[in-house]
Homo-oligomer: A and B are copies of this chain.
């Protein structure tokens, strides 16, 4: 198995589960194929995520490098920027949301939200198996709709590159720098509130006693 030279662990303020801390979105992928049973387990993980009224609004169009023509069609939908690195990933997956409840036909306002959950579960499963996932919003949704005959009432949301992370040596210079840069997030105080919008929760400030940075 490829050993990612850059672990680039999340620098967390308090400890979180190892799977969540190790998860990252690399651009440097090895061309090593993903084992079939691992690939299926990613979708099984997505399958068991929660959703509004158990609607399960997620759909996936998957193509490995072995599905050559289909993989090329997915690749064609990507932005120029994403093509620079995604060509090495052995698996591409287009993720599509069903926008209406199957039973009633009424709009499902949580469709995109639930899609995000299913991809997060897929990503956690990937991490557990030593795989990485990079999500790309940068693609031509109308082209994807055409090339894969996606019906009305469904929305192409994201394309995933999946595979084993590799050293960033083969990346273009600017992407390599980005891959090696420290990862950043907003501080907890800026988004965990209480009482009224913008007021930091005391549970966060109280945490100063046990955080480790």
The interface residues of chain B lying within 8 Å CB-to-CB of A174 are: none
Q: Is the interface of A mostly helix, strand, loop or mixed?
A: mixed
The interface residues of chain B lying within 8 Å CB-to-CB of A191 are: 47, 56, 58-60
Kindly state the interface size class of chain A when it binds its partner.
Answer: 35 or more
**A135 in the interface (beta carbon within 8 A):** yes
Complex Cα distance, B135 from A49, in Å, reads: 12
Check A37 against B185 for contact (C-beta < 8 Å): no
Q: Can you name the residue of chain B whose Cβ is closest to the Cβ of A151? A: B197
Number of copies: 2
Q: Which of A1-50 contact B (CB under 8 A)?
A: 10, 12-17, 19-21, 23, 25, 36-37, 39-41, 43-45, 47-50
Complex Cα distance, B150 from A103, in Å, reads: 32
Q: Can you name the residue of chain B whose Cβ is closest to the Cβ of A17? A: B128
**A175 in the interface (beta carbon within 8 A):** no
Binary contact track A181-213/B, C-beta < 8 Å → 1, others 0:
000111010011111110001111011001100
Check B194 against A67 for contact (C-beta < 8 Å): yes
Q: Which of A85-133 contact B (CB under 8 A)?
A: 109-110, 112-117, 119-121, 123-125, 128
**A161 in the interface (beta carbon within 8 A):** no
Complex Cα distance, B192 from A41, in Å, reads: 12
Check A59 against B20 for contact (C-beta < 8 Å): no
The interface residues of chain B lying within 8 Å CB-to-CB of A60 are: 191-193, 201
Which of B17, B36, B115, B193 sits near A116, CB closer than 8 Å?
B115
Report the 7 A-B pairs with minimum CB-CB distance, sorted nearest first.
Answer: A116-B116, A120-B120, A113-B116, A17-B128, A40-B207, A117-B120, A116-B117
Can you name 17 A-B residue pairings with CB atoms under 8 Å? A14-B44, A15-B41, A16-B44, A17-B45, A17-B128, A37-B210, A40-B204, A47-B185, A52-B137, A54-B184, A56-B185, A60-B193, A62-B194, A67-B195, A70-B195, A112-B113, A148-B196
